[in-house]
Structure 1
Amino acid sequence: MTNELKPVLMFDSGIGGLTVLREARVLMPERGFIYVADDAGFPYGGWEEEALKARILSLFEKLLKDHDPEVCVIACNTAFTLAGADLRAAFPHMTFVGTVPAIKPAAERTRSGLVSVLATPGTVKRAYTRDLIQSFASRCHVRLVGSQNLARMAEAYVRGEGVADDAVLEEIRECFIEMPDGRKTDIVVLACTHYPFMANVFRRLAPWPVDWIDPAEAIARRARSLVPSVSDAMHPENQDFALFTSGNPDFPTIRLMQGFGLTVR
């Protein structure tokens, strides 16, 4: 029976989706996982929208044919807010779990009414993001902060490379607002799956304590709800692996994947 279980495919522009993989494994221990990193296209922030959309659709045409997963988790805000609807239209028989900025829970939790969304430039400019604000956070002051460099910094950080505090602070500084009446930003949405890797650095450098919302657990819960549970199935041996679109990840990346229990193919 174990061999009959289809794997879960997790897609990200780089290694940020590992934050989601970590949570998904806890909830779906019986499933194998295929982690796909589009490192040849990373970072997505500099792409023209139509070119990036075409790239993502082309990648999935081959991925679905080659691996026939149970479900696909798009662990990338930029990819899903841009191409999620097109993926579902192009591959109607596949279930896609998307990643969108956690604006709704932020609006529900905030006490000051001041929320910041720390994202990539692509996610910040997307109409999808602004629609979420209009639908769920119209009574809040939501500041969108698009970082050009933070995803790359997070990739370097998780590989064990040094990242300067001043450089990180420059990327997150705009998230913090203090109003004349004394109200301050109290929630920052981490709207890129790379960013939670640096959450402890953000907490240390923040000018005051805030709630940093990491969407990984919610994404994993959603995926679990859509994947049939097989109680007596065992996790398949040697079935968790990572694919890199460049075909040539460096040694620190390979070592990182191995630390997450993934072989690199």
Structure 2
Amino acid sequence: MVEELKPVLVFDSGIGGLTVLREARVLMPERPFLYVADDAGFPYGAWDEAPLSARILDLFETLFDAHDPQAVIIACNTAFTLAGADLRARFADRCFIGTVPAIKPAAERTRSGLISVLATPGTVKRAYTRELIQSFAGRCHVRLVGSQNLARMAEAYIRGETAPDDDVLAEIAPCFIEEDGRRTDIVVLACTHYPFMANVFRRLAPWPVDWIDPAEAIARQARRLVPQVEGADPSHGWDQAIFTSGLPDFSTRRLMQGFGLKI
């Protein structure tokens, strides 16, 4: 008889982490998942660092006590670049899989040497992000674009609301640079909300670029770190979603049901 499996906890400030959950389920079909959205604190990009870090650490204290997950996927660039080291220090016996801007693969793929990182203001100003650039993209010109509005727009878009083209274009336009006959050829989507709007970005972009979605790479890393259990029954029923506000609206509940998540 196979013992009951502990869940993998996927954490995000809102519902953008569903892009990571989708990929993780493909690679870990035997595992139950717990999706946690800190919607009471959304959006993270506008927070000051100290209170946001304290909030995240306190929240995980509660989550570990209540759910004892096998591993945690921090499906939020802002949260992990800010609090990842502190989380690993405080909860040293826990397994964390982080999300950071995909600057290394972008630097490896670019032909023009012009890369843009589309992120939240919090991720853009983080020293962690600039260290990634120094470590892996020293020969590239990397433009950091911190969007104030795109995470909110993506949340609304995921729920079925229309995003005006002009508003979206205003957010992504700074990513596109022409310099000495070269053009930006890669845009890193450094917020897990953004891939849900990738088709809109492609349609509105002034020229074709490679939009890098980190979700699959995050899922692969989680699969490497989470023990695979042979003989486990993947038909473990619906996975669970938790919203810190306790008040997800109807469209959010319907979206969660579409992802096989029970609130």
TM range (shorter): over 0.9
| Unpaired runs of at least 5, structure 2 | none
Q: 1:236 to 1:90 in 2, by over 3 A?
A: farther
CA distance in 2, matches of 1:190, 1:162: 20
Paired residue type of 1:9? L
List aligned pairs for 1:26-41, cutoff 5 A.
26-41=26-41
Q: What residue in structure 1 maps to residue 163 of structure 2? A: 163
TM-superposed deviation, 1:89: 0.5
Q: What residue in structure 2 maps to residue 4 of structure 1? A: 4
Determine if contact 1:3/1:236 at 8 Å carries over to the other structure: no
Paired residue type of 2:66? D
2:82 match: secondary structure: helix
CA distance in 1, matches of 2:220, 2:8: 13
**Cα deviation digits, residues 195-247 of structure 1 (max 9, x gap):** 00000000000000000000000000000000110121112523511000000
2:224 match: secondary structure: helix
1:243 match: secondary structure: strand
Q: What residue in structure 2 maps to residue 20 of structure 1? A: 20
**Cα deviation digits, residues 154-194 of structure 1 (max 9, x gap):** 00001000110000000000000001x21000000000000
List aligned pairs for 1:48-87, cutoff 5 A.
48-87=48-87
Q: What residue in structure 2 maps to residue 99 of structure 1? A: 99
Q: 1:2 to 1:245 in 2, by over 3 A?
A: farther
C-alpha RMSD of matched pairs (Å): 0.8
1:4 match: secondary structure: coil
Q: Identity across aligned pairs (percent)?
A: 79
Paired residue type of 2:177? I
Determine if contact 2:238/2:260 at 8 Å carries over to the other structure: no
1:40 match: secondary structure: coil
CA distance in 1, matches of 2:65, 2:49: 25
CA distance in 2, matches of 1:46, 1:26: 33
CA distance in 2, matches of 1:91, 1:236: 31
**Cα deviation digits, residues 125-165 of structure 1 (max 9, x gap):** 00000000000000000000000000000000010001100
Q: Does 1:232 align with 2:248?
A: no
**Cα deviation digits, residues 5-48 of structure 1 (max 9, x gap):** 11100000000000000000000000000000000000011111
How many pairs were matched up? 263
TM-superposed deviation, 1:2: 4.9
CA distance in 1, matches of 2:49, 2:251: 30
List aligned pairs for 1:146-185, cutoff 5 A.
146-179=146-179, 181-185=180-184
Determine if contact 2:154/2:196 at 8 Å carries over to the other structure: yes
Paired residue type of 2:232? A
| Unpaired runs of at least 5, structure 1 | none
Q: Does 1:200 align with 2:199?
A: yes
Determine if contact 1:75/1:99 at 8 Å carries over to the other structure: yes
CA distance in 1, matches of 2:45, 2:188: 18
TM-superposed deviation, 1:65: 0.8
TM-superposed deviation, 1:3: 4.7
Paired residue type of 1:189? V
2:84 match: secondary structure: helix
1:253 match: secondary structure: helix
TM-score (norm. length: structure 1): 0.98
Determine if contact 1:2/1:235 at 8 Å carries over to the other structure: no
Q: What residue in structure 1 maps to residue 253 of structure 2? A: 254
CA distance in 2, matches of 1:33, 1:235: 11
